[in-house]
Amino acid sequence: MKRAALGYGVNVEVGEVLLSGTNYREKPSSMTQSMKFLITGGAGYIGSHTTLVLLRAGFDVVVLDNLCNASSESLKRVAQMAGRAPIFVEGDIRDRVLLDQLLAQHPVQAVLHFAGLKAVGESVTQPLLYYSNNVEGTVTLCKAMEAAGVFTLVFSSSATVYGDPVTVPITEDQPVGQTINPYGRSKLIAEQVLGDLAASDPRWRVALLRYFNPVGAHETGQIGEDPRGIPNNLLPYIARVAMGKLPELVVFGYDYPTVDGTGVRDYIHVMDLAEGHLAALSALKAKKSRVGVQVWNLGTGQGYSVLQILRAFEAASGRTVPYRLAPRRAGDVAISYANSAKAALELGWTAKRDLSTMMREAWRWQIMNPDGYQTGES
C-alpha cells in the first residue's frame, strides 16, 4: 500500500492488492519501465478509468483530485482491479505550493490533466468558478510543471470547442471558437493557453484530446459515471429512468434534420477513451523532433440519435424507458460526430467497443451501484 506524504492536502491510503486483472495492452515501446505519471482529476469518471489503464500497463500513477465531483471510493476500486494502488493526494490544481511539493516528491514524466468542472448550466450561472478551475487551474499546473522540468501534457478537451460544426464528420482542422457557454469557452481558452505555451518553448509536448460523448463503464461494473443530483447528460439520465428513479426521459428536440428528428452524437466507450490517453502519451513520448501541440479527436466516427440510444439501452437492459418529446435545449447542435482518422493514423488507436457494449456496461454499472459510489462504500 502506498501513501502520499505531503504537507498539504489530505493523504489517503488507497486500496490493497485484492484482485489481479487482465492486461489491456502492452506497455508502448516509446515508454520505459518505471515511468510515473500525474493524473489530475483521476478520481473522476474518465480519470479513474484512465488510471486503471495506466496501472495495468505497468506505470506508476499519482492522482491529484480535490474530490469536488468524485469519491475516493473510485480509486479504492481501481486499486483492487489493478492489483496496485495509485498514490492519491487530495488537493486542488490551483494550489501551487501543493503542486510544487507533489512534483518534487514524485518526479513524473508527464501529466494527464482531467481536473476541471464540466456542467454547462452551472457554468452559465457561475462563470468565474469555471474560468478559475478550468483556465486558472491549467495555468497553475503548467507553471508548476515548468518549474519542475515536466513538459509533457495530455489535456482533456471537448468537441464542444467546434461549436456548431461546419460539416460532419468533424476533422481536427475545422474552425473552433463558436462556443456558446462559459464551460466551452474555458476549454477553448485552455487549449489556446497550451498552444501559446508550446509555441514559446520547444520542450513542451502537448496533446489536446477532443472527446466526443463518453459513456459506459468498466466491464466489471466496478467503476463508472456517478453524477451528483439530476444528470445533465443523456446516458446517466436514461439509466436513472430505467431504474425508476426518474419518471421519464425528456427528449430535447424532435425537428432536427436527422434520421428521426432527434439530436445525433458520437458516443464513445469510456474504456476506449481511456486507452486513447495511453496512445496519445506514447505518441508524445515517441517523437524525436519538436512536438508542440497535437490535436486528436477521440470519437468512434459514428453518430446515433437520441431515440436510437434509447432503443439500444432498452435492448441492453430489458427495461422500458418512458420518454416525452420536448422543444430543443438551448445551445444544442443537431449533429456532432468525429472524423477519427487522424487518431487512427497517428496514434494507432481506434475505438473498439460498439454501441450495445456501451449500453450493456452502462446498465451493469447502474444496477450494481444504484447509488453510485455510495453503494457498498468500502
Q: Which does 251 bind (CB under 5 to 8 A by kind): ligand NAD, ligand UD1, none?
A: ligand UD1
Please identify, among the stretches 8-16, 101-109, 111-119, 286-294, the one whose residues bind ligand NAD according to the rule CB under 6 A: 111-119
Task: Based on the residue annotation, tell me whether 211 is a catalytic residue of this protein.
Answer: no
Locate 327 and state its grid cell. Answer: 422543444
CA distance 336 to 160: 9
Is 227 a binder of ligand UD1 (CB under 6 A)? no
CA distance 69 to 365: 18
Q: Are 104 and 40 in contact (CB under 8 A)?
A: no
Is 120 a binder of ligand UD1 (CB under 6 A)? yes
Residues forming a β-bridge with 326: 252
Is 250 a binder of ligand UD1 (CB under 6 A)? yes
- Radius of gyration of the chain measured on its C-alpha atoms: 20
Q: Which does 41 bind (CB under 5 to 8 A by kind): ligand NAD, ligand UD1, none?
A: ligand NAD
Find the binder of ligand NAD among 2, 36, 68, 220 (CB under 6 A): 68
E strand segments, the chain:
10-12, 36-40, 60-65, 87-90, 110-113, 152-158, 205-211, 213-215, 249-252, 264-265, 267-269, 292-298, 304-305, 323-326, 335-336
The catalytic position among 183, 256, 304, 373 is 183
Instruction: Put residue 320 in one of left, alpha, beta given phi > 0 → left and psi -120 to 50 → alpha.
Output: beta
Is 65 a binder of ligand NAD (CB under 6 A)? yes
Q: Which does 92 bind (CB under 5 to 8 A by kind): ligand NAD, ligand UD1, none?
A: ligand NAD
Q: Are 75 and 43 in contact (CB under 8 A)?
A: yes
Residues forming a β-bridge with 205: 152, 292
Torsion of CA 269, 272, 278, 284, to 10 degrees: -90
Q: Residue 249 CB, nearest distance to ligand NAD (Å)?
A: 18
Of residues 128 through 147, those in contact with ligand NAD by CB under 6 A are 133, 137
Binding mask 184-213 for ligand UD1 (x = CB under 6 A): x----------------------------x
Is 153 a binder of ligand NAD (CB under 6 A)? no
Q: What is the size of the binding site for ligand NAD (CB under 6 A)?
A: 28
Which residues contact ligand NAD (rule: CB under 6 A)?
Answer: 40-41, 43-47, 65-70, 92-94, 114-118, 133, 137, 156, 158, 211, 213-214
Q: Which residues are catalytic?
A: 183
